[in-house]
Structure 1
């Protein structure tokens, strides 16, 4: 019991909590400066998230893709790479799932749905592996290639939907087959038709897989070694180039799954989009919030997704404009990211604790 208490009272646990509180307080000051009532705004935010079973289900639905894109960015970062291309990998995952969900017919659910998941995930992984290959073989900075691949993915997916999957007189694909759906109908009915799906469970399992792959396997050790020191990894006989490609491939799989579940579990079709959905970019913030740790990423996604979904309540319930809502969310991320400021604020508290221990 004492060990559990020490974990939750340790600096590593206290700092993020204080950072979140500081972010919310700063957001409250911004709302006061703009002439809005922060108490009413935050009350509306929590009412939006927890006000009904439908809102709870939809909040969980909003959190799910952020877990996966956060894992995607974090996995690459832990292996020494910066994956800004999770957005494009999400789009390719959506496209792969849509192709299988629309074009493949006559299969039972137990085969069709997993097939769509696997194809979408692999397509996202291969899209990430392109950047890994260019980094490994040509020395091209992965930040540049992943950003460019985001746009290529968007326009390529639009071309595929327009050419092969478009429903007549619509700006979207045909609906996927029922046998490819990952919606949980009985739970959706319990939650007043919230769009819950099996992807949430798989996202949590992906966080476990993240930890096992990276921390408990020989391959994970090699990936971390390459990320920590390329020269030392080469000296130890590791294939650095191959590990770079593998890291980006696995990172892309996580992001591709986020796109897969948006198609198979939420919308059941893919639109011809003018812009990408934004989950990949939000995943960078989630990874930062979670300190690239799988447990932290799940919690960071819950915070980020909850604030994003609840922001509609702040807008309608307290008339707070979207711009100020984004400032509130950004201020939370800022204080979490700048742990030095938080530690400086907590110096008197730490000093008091040390004196108490000494006595």
Structure 2
């Protein structure tokens, strides 16, 4: 087996080891807190697969996570760190709902227009840090973090002063712009699963195709690897940086549209962040910034969050334990260098023993 193949296989094994360690640590915490880990994990599993409703809710929960993971991964593949996915998702959510409420048109026009509005809003929110990075070398991490707060408070301002209906939300969008599906709801015992799940699968394929099967994707990845070499080869480095952040923001914006047009069918005043954007960082990290990996890690995270409710109801385990497990999984993935070191030491010991 070649070293390249070994490295690739090891890269696939690392997330599995991290997940295993995360669940093992969670079991220890349950034991220390006086809970039965077997009962806890059985309840977690049943909360995902035990009923068609739970499974549908898991798929619904993972849909925006897929988009936020793709947003983080697309920027990372091109050498950028987009920590502003949360803000891009929020403006995408609001803008898609705004179009869903204010525009009246047939579904064939209204729904794509609402999705496009969410994508454009997210792209604009990604364009700003991309431009500042390209023109003035302002680090994108700092700008994107600050723009998360700007997004949340600006959206809250517009809802509170111009679009507020009963409670703390806007009016419901028109049915012609909704992703809700009676067919999928009936199939999953009236869960909130919507057509956005299929769009998310298409988005995974789209990111793979853009990055690995197009000339522009090659340019974007080249700029991420080495800006100086890319510039020497005749590539427009600044334009590619701006484009990368804009496309990343568009993925996040559509993720917000999944919430506005699919899960809720309205936008509400946010007392705090949704955390879908921040969870996308973990999804991309666990999924190794690959389309297939992001889809699988989004399913894991969506399942953990959905199953947490059942753990509390059936096994008496606090739902916060799931957050601890997720944090530990991220920790072990981030500590993959330690796992690699242990693996190399074991391999060396085997060779010395022969």
TM-score (norm 2): 0.93
Q: Does 1:204 align with 2:198?
A: no
1:66-91 Cα offsets, whole Å, 9 max, x none, are: 11100100110111110000000000
Q: What is the match of residue 313 of structure 2?
A: 316
Aligned to 1:69: 68
Contact 1:67/1:297 (8 A) holds in 2: yes
Pairwise mapping of residues 1-359 of structure 1 onto structure 2 (< 5 A)? 10-105=9-104, 107-167=105-165, 169-346=166-343
Question: Matches of 2:59 and 2:225 in 1, distance apart?
Answer: 35
Alpha-carbon separation, structure 2, partners of 1:10 and 1:72: 25
Shift of 1:48: 0.6
Deviations 1:332-352 (A, max 9, x none): 222223223333555587679
Given that residues 122 and 253 in structure 2 are in contact (C-alpha distance below 8 angstroms), is that contact kept between their aligned partners in structure 1? yes
Structure 1: how far apart are the matches of 2:307 and 2:335? 24
Q: Unpaired runs of 5+ in structure 1?
A: 1-5
Q: 2 CA distance for matches of 1:156 and 1:15?
A: 40
Within 2, Cα distance between the matches of 1:323 and 1:192?
A: 27
What root-mean-square deviation, in Å, do the aligned CA atoms of Structure 1 and Structure 2 show? Answer: 2.1
SS state at 2:262 partner: helix
Contact 2:15–2:287, Cα closer than 8 Å, also in 1: no
The separation in 2 between residues aligned to 1:192 and 1:352, in whole angstroms, is 55
**Post-superposition offset of 1:42:** 0.4
| Aligned partners of 2:180 and 2:262 also within 8 Å | yes
Any idea what the Cα deviations from partners look like across 1:90-109, whole Å, max 9, x if unmatched?
A: 0010111111100012x111
Maintained 8 Å contact 1:76/1:83: yes
CA deviations over 1:44-85 (Å, ceiling 9, x no partner): 100111111100000000111111100100110111110000
Return the offset for 1:36.
1.4
Aligned CA distance change for structure 1 residues 12 and 81 (closer, same or farther; 3 Å): closer
TM-superposition CA deviations, 1:280-335 (whole Å, max 9, x none): 00000001001111111111111111111111122222222233332122112222
CA deviations over 1:120-168 (Å, ceiling 9, x no partner): 111111111111011111211111110111111111111222233221x
Q: 8 Å contact 1:44–1:317 — kept in the other structure?
A: yes
Paired with 1:342 and 1:216, the residues of 2 have a C-alpha distance of: 33
Deviation readout 1:196-248 (Å, 9 max, x if unpaired): 11111111111111111111111111111111111111111211111111000
Local SS of the residue matching 1:35? coil
The corresponding residue for 1:3 is none
Between the aligned partners of 1:145 and 1:132, the Cα distance in structure 2 is 9
Structure 2 gap ranges (5+): none
